[in-house]
Homo-oligomer: A and B are copies of this chain.
Amino acid sequence: MPSEFDLIARHFTRPPRDAARVPLGVGDDCALVAPAAGMQLAISSDMLVEGRHFFAQADPALLGHKCLAVNLSDLAAMGARPLGFTLALALPAADDDWLRAFAGGMLALADAHDCDLIGGDTTRGPLNICITIFGEVPTGQALRRDAARSGDDIWISGTLGDARLALAGYRREIELDAASLQRAGRRMHVPMPRVALGQALRGIAHAAIDISDGLVGDLGHILERSGVGACIDADALPAGPELAAHPSELRRPFALAGGDDYELCFTAPASARESVLAAAAECGTPVTRVGRIDAAPGLRLVDRNGAPLSLQLASFDHFASP
């Protein structure tokens, strides 16, 4: 069996593409990273565990993609430009085919975002994938959760709920035809982080967050940190193309609290509507206005006629969920 050093070297080690920003990559006690002048580093960690965040028999190439995508999504939500990441990997065995596919999926997405794998760790253990990602953002321009203001519009990128629809299909909570399940499943397995949009919104948006645990829960973090409330039109939420074919009893909860969407939820002043739409068009990313930030605490849901909705919605929580 190859040693851990061989494994790392064979599948993951490549020279950094920009020696000015990453003077030293994989292979020493530490990597060295040099952000450009006037830049801060945005840093985020995510840990993905088999059986909790992905199925035991997950396709390794898709899994490699998704593990990096969820981290890139955190950079997107800060308006940061990707720079590099570390990968720590616990594996039950050193399976060469699995590693090749996993590395392939991960590094293809890394290449698409000019993001170097700069270091990490490999060990034997129950499958666990931990990525820490680094991006650059100009000092003072990060899109923070605590920056929403009363009167701001609330915007959503792309569409919501298809990943949750796929999960319902896999779990047999609902019956989906095979083609629909496959299309929805791609939203679950191959999320596309909104990295370009996040950067384009710098100087335009106030607060931003990425929607990983469901809109209600994640918007809740903005409201709590900003000390504000919000009203959301549940029928204005852009349902994914597969979810859109289902009745509103399914559409509303899956769009509001489905999770695994990896879209951006952001707030911006009403005076910036044209700028938001122009920034989104420049990135080729659709955005939809779905509500408003209020001074009064709490989250209020209404239907398309403005009538209050009282939905029993629980945001996805790794410990509190059954």
Contact = CB atoms under 8 A, between A and B. Distances in A.
Interface of A: 1-5, 7, 23-24, 27-35, 37, 40-53, 74-75, 77-78, 80, 86-90, 94, 118-126, 128, 130, 132, 134-135, 137, 139, 142, 144-146, 208-210, 225, 317-320
Contacts of A41: 32-35, 41
A30 B318 contact: no
B30 A88 contact: no
Contact of A47 (B30, B33, B74, B128): B128
Contact of A74 (B24, B30, B146): B30
Please state the number of chain copies in the assembly.
2
Contacts of A132: 43, 45, 86, 88, 132
Contacts of A80: 30
Given A1-B320, A74-B29, A88 B125 contact: no
B30 A119 contact: no
Contacts of A142: 24, 30, 32
B42 A78 contact: no
A170 to B, nearest CB: 19
A32 B28 contact: no
A202 to B, nearest CB: 13
Given A32-B41, A45-B88, A45-B132, A317 B3 contact: yes
B44 A4 contact: no
A208 B126 CA distance: 32
Nearest to A28: B145
Contacts of A86: 43-45, 132
Contacts of A208: 29
A285 to B, nearest CB: 17
B34 A89 contact: no
Contacts of A33: 40-41, 43
A29 B77 contact: yes
A122 B32 contact: no
11 contacts: A2-B319, A4-B319, A27-B225, A31-B44, A32-B40, A33-B40, A33-B41, A34-B40, A35-B35, A45-B120, A52-B125
Contact of A40 (B4, B23, B29, B118): B23
B90 A139 contact: no
Nearest to A208: B29
A200 to B, nearest CB: 16
